[in-house]
């Protein structure tokens, strides 16, 4: 397998054509925005990487790059924080800083003209994709001296790959795709974005928390496997995308909801699919009955906080919600058992629970590490509610949307809207090699039983 990977990597020849920096078109002046309790735990995560692959448009690559830069200049007038840097105030509290003399967003134009879109669409892992997405292995803390957004535009033989790296300390998935949609809106000809961002983070939480982190070397180191590199002391991971059609999703949801007791609240699509994956991964790991397995979801809290924050709140407004059970119990019961555990944990995370969690963290700040997701975990990030296939810059919708190799660990899932739309969902999962091989043969999981 190693030989196969090395051969694949050799076929991906990416040549850098240019590197520039893009700033808001108009003068903004000096702006500062304190990072809050929802942001700070992520300073030692890695940059959040997304890859969008488009077909066609290769003939006009140079024009498209200029069009994207022009659109970026305009959209950054509203999203100027992405053109800034991380900083600290006089008390050592982290903040986002912007000034007109800062470099702005890094934009690299590159070419991989021997690579076709089809070559990338069949790629299950992230090894071959690394050359297309910037800031591999870069910690968010490095935003003290690096751009908070880096973009790589790569010309393919028959299309274009857009790789983006966002500093996760300043925005979550909701804000990421809100920005991408706004940028695309401008590039399609809009003079201004339809919904400007809500930038007042302190409206969600205003506690000032000092963290004793100053340089990237001070940050807690994550496991080597979390980023696909390092000393390889952890079991090797593999990634795989499992595509569930509308029909499959409906079957999963129907099965989980088939034995509801009177008065019980139906399980959502998310809860149904989550327990389907949780049970299957637990089977694949061949855990002992007494082994604990944890389910973690990074949940949007915009509507959970009091007062609620608007959808256009720009920043992190997520919490990791944890629950778990013994592997034997999870597998011995029908799927509604796991779904009920997940549903209960999510519904219990109301404004009071959020305030309590924040207060606890503020009294004893802890920088998140991937191992904090829980033992034998299945952890869900991203959301099929994000309209990732609607990100059209003027030459059509993407053929594929992927996560990069950053922020991966054993049991990490990214859920995406399926390309076919409707209720279809893509499950992008990272697992220890042996477990993933078993999962790939699990007919019940694959909906082939």
Which residues are annotated as catalytic? Answer: 168, 392
What 3-state DSSP class applies to 138?
Answer: coil
**DSSP code for 139:** B
Distances (CA, A) of 99 to 34, 48, 90: 15, 24, 17
What beta strand segments (E) does 78-145 contain? 85-88, 94-98, 105-112
Helix (H) or strand (E) holding 247: helix 246-256
Decide if 117 contacts 52 (C-beta within 8 A).
Answer: no
**β-strands 400-403, 48-55: how paired?**
antiparallel
Q: Check if the beta carbon of residue 406 is closer than 8 Å to that of residue 136.
A: yes
**Residue 187 backbone dihedrals phi, psi, to 5 degrees:** -65, -25
Among 428, 71, 10, which Cα is nearest to 237's? 428
Could you tell me the two tokens for 272? 């149904």
Pick the closest to residue 277 from 414, 125, 131 (CA basis). 414
| C-alpha torsion sign, points 47, 51, 52, 58 | positive
DSSP sequence for 343-360: HHHHHH--HHHHHHHHHH
Interatomic CA distance for residues 178 and 115, integer angstroms:
30
CA distance 150 to 190: 23
Task: Specify the residue for token string 């108009």.
Answer: 26
């Amino acid at each position: 397998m190693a030989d196969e990977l090395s051969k694949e990597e050799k076929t991906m020849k990416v040549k850098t054509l240019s590197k520039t920096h893009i700033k808001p078109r108009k003068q903004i002046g000096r702006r500062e925005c304190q990072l809050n309790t929802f942001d700070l735990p992520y300073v030692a995560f890695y940059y959040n990487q997304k890859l969008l692959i488009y077909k066609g448009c290769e003939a006009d690559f140079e024009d498209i790059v200029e069009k994207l830069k022009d659109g970026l200049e305009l959209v950054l007038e509203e999203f100027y924080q992405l053109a800034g840097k991380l900083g600290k105030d006089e008390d050592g509290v982290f903040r986002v800083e912007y000034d007109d003399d800062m470099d702005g967003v890094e934009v690299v134009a590159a070419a991989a003209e021997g690579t076709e879109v089809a070559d990338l669409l069949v790629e299950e892992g992230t090894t071959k994709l690394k050359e297309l997405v910037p800031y591999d292995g870069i910690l968010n803390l490095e935003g003290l001296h690096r751009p908070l957004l880096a973009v790589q535009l790569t010309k393919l033989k028959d299309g274009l790959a857009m790789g983006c790296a966002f500093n996760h300390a300043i925005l979550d998935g909701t804000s990421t795709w809100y920005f991408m949609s706004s940028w695309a809106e401008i590039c399609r000809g809009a003079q201004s974005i339809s919904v400007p961002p809500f930038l007042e983070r302190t409206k969600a939480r205003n506690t000032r928390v000092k963290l004793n982190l100053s340089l990237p070397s001070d940050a807690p180191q994550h496991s080597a496997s979390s980023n696909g590199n390092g000393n390889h002391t952890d079991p090797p991971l593999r990634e795989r995308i499992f595509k569930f059609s509308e029909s499959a999703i409906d079957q999963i949801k129907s099965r989980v909801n088939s034995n509801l007791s009177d008065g019980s609240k139906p399980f959502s699509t998310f809860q149904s699919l989550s327990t389907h994956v949780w049970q299957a991964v637990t089977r694949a790991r061949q855990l002992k009955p007494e082994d604990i397995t944890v389910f973690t979801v990074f949940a949007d809290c915009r509507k959970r906080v009091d007062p609620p924050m608007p959808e256009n709140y720009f920043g992190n407004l997520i919490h990791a919600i944890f629950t778990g059970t013994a592997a034997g119990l999870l597998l011995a019961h029908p799927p509604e058992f796991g779904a009920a555990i997940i549903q209960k944990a999510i519904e219990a995370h109301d404004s009071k629970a959020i305030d309590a969690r924040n207060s606890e963290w503020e009294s004893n700040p802890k920088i998140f590490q991937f191992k904090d997701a829980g033992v034998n975990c299945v952890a869900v990030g991203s959301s099929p509610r994000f309209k990732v296939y609607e990100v059209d810059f003027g030459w059509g919708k993407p053929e594929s949307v992927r996560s990069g190799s950053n922020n991966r660990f054993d049991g990490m899932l990214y859920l995406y809207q399926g390309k076919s739309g409707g209720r279809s969902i893509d499950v992008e999962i990272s697992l220890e090699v042996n477990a993933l091989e078993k999962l790939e043969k699990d007919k019940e999981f694959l909906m082939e039983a």
